[in-house]
Amino acid sequence: MDTTAGTLVKYKMVIDGEWVDSASSQHFESFDPFTGKPWALIPRGNAEDVDRAARAARKAFTSGEWPKMTASRRGALLRKLGDLITEKSKALAEIEVRDNGKLYAEMSAQTAYMAQWYYYYGGLADKIEGQVIPIDKPDTFNYTRFEPLGVVGAIIPWNSPLLLTAWKLAPALAAGNVMVLKPSEYTSASLLEFMKLIEEAGFPPGVVNVVTGFGPEAGTPLVEHPLVAKIAFTGSDLTGQKIYEAAAKGLKKVSMELGGKSPNIVFDDAEIDNAVKGAISGIFAATGQTCIAGSRLLVQESIHDQFVEKLVAFAKTAKMGNPMSMETQVGPVTNQPQYKKILSYIDIAKAEGVTTALGGAKATRPECGDGWFVEPTIFTGVKNSMRIAQEEVFGPVLSVIPFKDEEEAIAIGNDVVFGLAAGVWTQNMRRAFLMAEKLQAGTVWVNTYRAVSYLSPFGGYKRSGLGRESGQEMIKEYLQTKSVWISTAREVPNPFIMR
Ligand code: NAI
Ligand code: MG
């Protein structure tokens, strides 16, 4: 499967149940963000590989075991996969950490929890029920069937590779589809390791394929491939827009989760110590590299100074360093372009006239070594119109914005192009419900932040996305509805008029 080339682990990708090199035989390096050095070689897939994978998937969809399999059996395979994930979750987490630098403390919990998506959608597989419709025509039986779409292409980012794969793969397979997965060029290794579990669980060859490579070389051909019926994407809004445009040419279905600039709103009646922790988890957890980052902290004027003081004091204690250590709280940034992007946004914010209350530079602490670390950064005096408040930084950079009252909090909260999530900290119930109603976001958390579950729909308003992931309803994103009409009439009536 993988061999060692020098000191680098050399991976293969998976097409039609075979571990293969890319058609070009080329590889690219994957880096360990803590050391800043390459550790693995990943096949550099291109349009030819995508074509092979899409054909293999289509073949698996139309012939062989998969289309004959009962929904209950599909469910059983998914639950078996869940068991294998549970068994191997620590090893998977280690690969994730090595490749994306997120904390082992978080990734080991995440890879263990990830099994739930496979259990849940495994359970749902044989509960996809059509309806008998009491149709308004005599002697007619009308019913609906929910059928899979066929080949689904999934394009995955680097921040939580296996979890974001699960959100797509589990419902797509439960619904009877087949898949071609394209992981991020920065974090392909964990998905390739995960494919060993797909194999072990017993999915027929071609049902799940992985083509690794760069966005334009492997991602674009996947979106454009005529055999691909749907694209499920998580990543940046600009790439999402490009994919949507390309998918439109083939009239393909899309679902997209595209990041945000989420407001985390603290009212003066909040339990302050909890709200401080909520603000921290919103922006410094995962080094801020999360689509749901609470990157705009809206603080009510009356408590602004006192709150910022407590927040800075807490953030100052954050331990940086080796993401494998259970002590570490803020790890490195996943890739070098992202590291440079974060630092450039820090410069932009400073040029816009913000006040640096904490950090505001790359981290040079000895425990950070040669890794790509950015100091936890808190800017005050931020105006919502500034670029630092409008654009997704995807790093440990917090913009603090004061507000007067509920009305202003809602206005500022909604005054961005995104709408993925929002946090509200208050003890006032009326206020909690009001904010939950008025904030334009796919998820609103009150007195908590950064909670997700396989049971609850997740996705964005506005430029934060299309469609939802998780929960029962969303399986429909991987199904199409067929209406079947059966006449029991003895005679066909007047053929010249519509029935
Ligand atoms: P990206 O959105 O460009 O990449 C995500 C995935 O799309 C990767 O697998 C990539 O190879 C693929 N891709 C890129 N261009 C493509 C194309 N033209 N056609 C098909 N596939 C394509 O994100 P990137 O460059 O890794 O990060 C840039 C920014 O995106 C970050 O700074 C952050 O702001 C945001 N981001 C948001 C995420 C989220 O969870 N919403 C996750 C990762 C990044
Ligand atoms: Mg890497």
Q: Can 368 be counted among the known catalytic residues?
A: no
Cβ of residue 155 lying under 6 Å from some atom of ligand 1:
yes
Structure-token pair, residue 433: 């419900």
The residue whose CA is least distant from atom 29 of ligand 1 is 236
Cβ of residue 394 lying under 6 Å from some atom of ligand 1:
yes
The whole-angstrom separation of Cα 164 and Cα 177 is 17
Cβ of residue 459 lying under 6 Å from some atom of ligand 1:
no
Cβ of residue 184 lying under 6 Å from some atom of ligand 1:
yes
* Cβ contact 38:30 at 8 Å: yes
Pocket test for ligand 1, best of 50, 155, 224 (most atoms within 8 A of CB): 155
- Considering every ligand atom shown, identify the ligand nearest to the alpha carbon of residue 254 and give its number: 1
Ligand 1: centre distance to CA 239 (Å): 6
The whole-angstrom separation of Cα 81 and Cα 162 is 13
For 103, 150, 445, the CA distances from 480, given in Å and listed in that order, are 39, 10, 32
Cβ of residue 242 lying under 6 Å from some atom of ligand 1:
yes
Q: What are phi and psi of 255, to 5 degrees?
A: -135, 140
440 Cβ neighbours under 8 A, 6+ residues apart: 413, 414, 419, 461, 462
Q: What is the 3-state secondary structure (H, E, C) of 332-378?
A: CCCCHHHHHHHHHHHHHHHHCCCEEEECCCECCCHHHCCCCCECCEE
Ligand 1: centre distance to CA 326 (Å): 29
Reported as a single tens digit per residue, the pLDDT across 361-382 is 999 999 999 999 999 999 999 9
65 Cβ neighbours under 8 A, 6+ residues apart: 204
The residue whose CA is least distant from atom 16 of ligand 1 is 215
* Cβ contact 161:183 at 8 Å: yes
Using the atom order of ligand 1, give the atom closest to the CA of residue 222: 20
Whether the CA torsion 468, 474, 480, 482 is positive or negative: it is: negative
- Considering every ligand atom shown, identify the ligand nearest to the alpha carbon of residue 190 and give its number: 2
The whole-angstrom separation of Cα 250 and Cα 339 is 36
* Cβ contact 386:352 at 8 Å: yes
Ligand 1: centre distance to CA 63 (Å): 34
Cβ of residue 464 lying under 6 Å from some atom of ligand 1:
no
Cβ of residue 223 lying under 6 Å from some atom of ligand 1:
yes
The whole-angstrom separation of Cα 30 and Cα 16 is 24
The residue whose CA is least distant from atom 20 of ligand 1 is 219
- Considering every ligand atom shown, identify the ligand nearest to the alpha carbon of residue 44 and give its number: 1
pLDDT at 4: 57
The residue whose CA is least distant from atom 14 of ligand 1 is 215
* Cβ contact 404:276 at 8 Å: no
Architecture of domain 263-446: 3-Layer(aba) Sandwich (3.40)
Angle at 464 between CA 462 and CA 465, to 5 degrees: 90
Ligand 1: centre distance to CA 234 (Å): 7
Reported as a single tens digit per residue, the pLDDT across 207-266 is 999 999 999 999 999 999 999 999 999 999 999 999 999 999 999 999 999 999 999 999
pLDDT at 7: 87
Q: Can 257 be counted among the known catalytic residues?
A: yes
Ligand 2: centre distance to CA 366 (Å): 22
Cβ of residue 426 lying under 6 Å from some atom of ligand 1:
no
* Cβ contact 396:282 at 8 Å: no
Architecture of domain 2-258+464-483: 3-Layer(aba) Sandwich (3.40)
Pocket test for ligand 1, best of 239, 335, 343 (most atoms within 8 A of CB): 239
Reported as a single tens digit per residue, the pLDDT across 15-47 is 999 999 999 999 999 999 999 999 999 999 999
The whole-angstrom separation of Cα 32 and Cα 224 is 32
Residue for token pair 């440079």:
340
- Considering every ligand atom shown, identify the ligand nearest to the alpha carbon of residue 32 and give its number: 2
Residue 120: name the closest of 174, 69, 189, 163 by CA. Answer: 174
Instruction: Please identify which of the residues 257, 375, 392, 469 carries the catalytic annotation.
Output: 257
Residue 10: name the closest of 24, 26, 23 by CA. Answer: 26
The whole-angstrom separation of Cα 276 and Cα 454 is 27
The whole-angstrom separation of Cα 123 and Cα 71 is 10
Structure-token pair, residue 460: 């964005």
- Considering every ligand atom shown, identify the ligand nearest to the alpha carbon of residue 28 and give its number: 2
Instruction: Please identify which of the residues 185, 193, 217, 291 carries the catalytic annotation.
Output: 291
Would you put residue 452 in left (φ > 0), alpha (ψ -120 to 50) or beta?
beta
Q: Domains of the chain: which residue ranges? A: 2-258+464-483, 263-446
Pocket test for ligand 1, best of 42, 236, 345 (most atoms within 8 A of CB): 236
Ligand 1: centre distance to CA 236 (Å): 5
pLDDT at 6: 65
The residue whose CA is least distant from atom 10 of ligand 1 is 215
**pLDDT averages per 10-residue partition of the chain, 499 residues:** 71 98 98 96 98 98 98 98 98 97 97 98 98 96 98 98 98 98 98 98 98 98 98 97 98 97 98 98 97 98 98 98 96 96 98 98 96 97 98 98 98 98 98 98 98 98 98 97 97 89
Would you put residue 84 in left (φ > 0), alpha (ψ -120 to 50) or beta?
alpha
